[in-house]
Amino acid sequence: MVSCTENFEEINMNPNAPEQVSANLLVSTVTSEITRTLTEEGYSDGNTITQLMAKNNFPGFSQFDWGDQGMWNFFYNYLPEINDILEISRAEGTQNATYEGIALTMRALSFANLTDLYGYVPYSEAMSGKSDGIFTPVYDDQETVYNGVLQDLADADAALAKGEAIAGSSGDVIFNGDATKWRRLANSLRLRYLMRISKRRDVSADMQSIVNAGNYIDSNEDNATLVYSGTSNTDSWPQSTGRIGGFDEKSLCTTLLDYFERFNDPRLDIWFDRNSDGDWVGIPIGLNQDNARAYDDEFSPSRLDVELFYFSATQAEAFIMKNSEVQFILAEAAERGIISGSAESYYNEGIRASLSYWGVDDADIEAYLLESEVQYDGTLELLLTQKTIALWNVDYQGWMDYRRTGMPALETGQDDLNGGLYPVRFLYPSSEQTLNKANYDGAVSAMGGAGDNINTKGWWETGTRY
């Protein structure tokens, strides 16, 4: 009996059920699920709130009849896995600077989305349940969260600059462990978030430094995209796995149709199909159920291109960030005098990058840039209108720009349920009111709203620098 206790722990270890998951498995889950979900959110609701699409059925979101939109639980479910990757990447024996940079980038992306969507969020204590037994974390203000986000991205840049190789399968579905491309994404996100807080802070030196270093996305080859394999429902463009009736509920919005007709834009024929009469027809934003169905029956709005967005499991991609967005960020920064350079050149490159990504050939791109309504006129309204179009399917980034700048100008629909106001945040999930009530109440009070309110502006929206 005594001898049976020798090497007890080693004998009772199950090699088929390891206690610690490897970094590559965690990275595979994190990069695929976050990229896929961000794009699906952009397709479903991000395009709606920027009036690129509208629904002819169940149109409550465009009427601003909002409850919990679900992104809170999504990000807080994956942040512990990101934290695990970070711990593995820094531990003796599994240390790897590239995994560290990937984890820091994804953590920054997650927390930036959380604070942009909700306002005050648990940050400093968010991952302290296992380590410190804190299961009701305090909510931190947006400035604190943004300080952390920008520091994570700067640290990611430093880690990824080492160019450390990953042995074997990286698990990374975005760049396959390419440290150089991850570094470009980290710095491109820094440009996004520095511009976002530019009404509050002088971000000139930081943005110019990134531009001077040149380690940011500046070609479509560096786009942070996920290409679907189509081998299963999970690995397919999400809309291709649903019912055709659900797909047909989304139509071209009249706002986007106005842009496209004004610009003579080739993306109209790429993203949408003509209706049964051979016409391009949009549907107004913000109609209620009865009016949306009546409008659909009478006018037959153009639906999304069925070959690209429904019948193919692999043609449409998911993405975190593309070159077109980066170029428009730099165009705005140059126009506002935040960085040196030609705003017009960056603007034109943003258009080229977007049209090229969607398959428009070079000759048609150059012809498009010569359209009188497309040629850069030095106005932020034109610049941000083109940027909003290029942000098609890119989660809620167009809405973030609208909240910061008011451009392009958007109006609520005729059946709006928010008193004519364009909302600026999501509501906290109801679970927070029961599971973390004291900190929830403190956050709602600190943000200054009349309760948990979709019209309460955040820190970066209320700056006075411009």
- Residue 236's closest CA among 319, 310, 321, 320? 310
| Mean pLDDT calculated for residue range 360-366 | 98
Angle at 409 between CA 404 and CA 414, to 5 degrees: 120
Residue 40: both structure tokens together: 């699906």
Task: Please provide the distance, in angstroms rounded to a whole number, between the alpha carbons at the two ends of the chain.
Answer: 79
Give the global pTM.
0.95
Residue-wise pLDDT tens digits, 206-218 = 999 999 999 999 9
- Residue 114's closest CA among 434, 456, 444, 428? 428
Q: Is the pLDDT of residue 219 over 50?
A: yes
| Mean pLDDT calculated for residue range 87-108 | 97
| Mean pLDDT calculated for residue range 144-155 | 98
* Contact yes or no for 455/421 (Cβ under 8 A): yes
Q: Is the pLDDT of residue 268 over 60?
A: yes
Q: Indicate the angle between helix axes 142-160 and 97-118, nearest 10 degrees.
A: 160
Q: In angstroms, how far apart are the furthest CA atoms of the chain?
A: 90
Displacement of CA 285 from its chain's centroid (Å): 22
Q: How far apart are CA 152 and CA 155, in angstroms?
A: 5
- Backbone CA torsion sign across 152, 155, 160, 164: negative
Residue 11 — very low, low, confident or very high, per pLDDT cuts 50/70/90?
very low
HSE-CB at 198 with a 13 A cutoff on CA atoms is 26
Residue 45: both structure tokens together: 């609701």
Greater model confidence, 223 or 130: 223
C-alpha separations of 266 from 41, 119, 262, 308, 325 in Å: 24, 37, 11, 15, 18
| Mean pLDDT calculated for residue range 226-247 | 93
- pLDDT at residue number 132: 87
Q: Under CATH, to which class is 23-220+315-447 assigned?
A: mainly alpha
| Mean pLDDT calculated for residue range 307-335 | 98
Angle at 171 between CA 117 and CA 356, to 5 degrees: 65
- pLDDT at residue number 99: 98
- pLDDT at residue number 183: 98
* Contact yes or no for 390/325 (Cβ under 8 A): yes
Q: Is the pLDDT of residue 6 over 70?
A: no
Angle at 352 between CA 315 and CA 153, to 5 degrees: 80
Angle at 452 between CA 126 and CA 129, to 5 degrees: 15
Q: Is the pLDDT of residue 131 over 90?
A: no
**What residue ranges do the domains of the chain occupy?**
23-220+315-447
C-alpha separations of 449 from 13, 29, 48, 454 in Å: 54, 37, 25, 9
Q: How far apart are CA 68 and CA 88, in angstroms?
A: 33
Q: How far apart are CA 252 and CA 312, in angstroms?
A: 20
| Mean pLDDT calculated for residue range 457-462 | 96
Task: Say what percent of the chain tops pLDDT 70.
Answer: 95
C-alpha separations of 55 from 228, 295, 375, 415 in Å: 26, 11, 32, 13
List the beta strands (DSSP E) in 137-202. 139-140
Backbone phi, psi, residue 184, to 5°: -65, -40
Four-point Cα dihedral 255, 257, 263, 264, nearest 10: 180
C-alpha separations of 245 from 86, 306, 310 in Å: 43, 12, 11
Backbone phi, psi, residue 121, to 5°: -145, 155
Q: How many CB atoms lie within 10 A of CB 343?
A: 21
Displacement of CA 286 from its chain's centroid (Å): 23
- pLDDT at residue number 20: 67
Q: Is the pLDDT of residue 366 over 70?
A: yes
Residue 1 — very low, low, confident or very high, per pLDDT cuts 50/70/90?
very low
Displacement of CA 458 from its chain's centroid (Å): 18
| Mean pLDDT calculated for residue range 180-196 | 98
C-alpha separations of 126 from 71, 121, 212, 413, 436 in Å: 15, 9, 35, 38, 12
- Residue 233's closest CA among 119, 343, 313? 313
Q: Is the pLDDT of residue 240 over 50?
A: yes
Q: How far apart are CA 344 and CA 408, in angstroms?
A: 18
Residue-wise pLDDT tens digits, 417-445 = 999 999 999 999 999 999 999 999 999 99
